[in-house]
Amino acid sequence: MDKFFVKLANDESTYKKVVEYMKKTDADYDIPMSMRVNIGDYVKKIISKAVTIAVMENDEIIGMANFYCNDMETKTCYITNVSISKKAQEKGYHLNDFVHAILIIAQKVGMKRLRAETTDRRVLILHKRLGAVEFKREEINGVIHYHSYLEDIDGWLKKDSARRITVLNL
């Protein structure tokens, strides 16, 4: 099955769609996003500084990932958020697909490795299944944060080349 992601623009329309989506999926996080950040402020930051990709249905976001590809010194891409709604999951989209789409973009801009941080142990387990290594665990305000990395973006994409992912608007 071919899976399509759209790289979203940095504009007011994207801002509104992302805020709407994050509010709809807020309770899906192990710790609701609204308890950790002001959603409007967070979306302004990620829309202006990060790359946002989404799965769309009728001009509505049903799955989204935000990540930074601006560390040109270490050539490391940082995932800040991945959210996959039940609707996107029903359409066959999974974490592996989002990671693959992120890595396509990261590779295109010269990134060599990927880092992620999560407060959800289930997400850490999925990262490890994808080949990531946990390198740090820390407690912040009573919440455990898991840090993981994937060292070889090029190698991972070659190994996972059977996955049929397309990123539009690159």
Residue range 51-76, pLDDT digits in tens: 999 999 999 999 999 999 999 999 99
What is residue 13's predicted lDDT score, i.e. its pLDDT?
92
Does the domain at residues 3-117+161-168 carry the CATH identifier 3.40.630.30?
A: yes
What is residue 131's predicted lDDT score, i.e. its pLDDT?
85
- pLDDT 10s digits, 8-28: 998 999 999 999 999 999 988
pLDDT category at 160 given cuts 50, 70, 90 is: confident
Domain extents in the chain: 3-117+161-168
d(CA 41, CA 47): 10
Q: Is 26 helix (H, G, I), strand (E, B) or coil?
A: helix
Query: Order of strands, edge to edge, in the sheet holding 165-168?
Result: 133-140, 143-150, 113-118, 76-84, 60-71, 51-57, 3-7, 165-168
Backbone angles phi, psi at 162, to 5 degrees: -75, -20
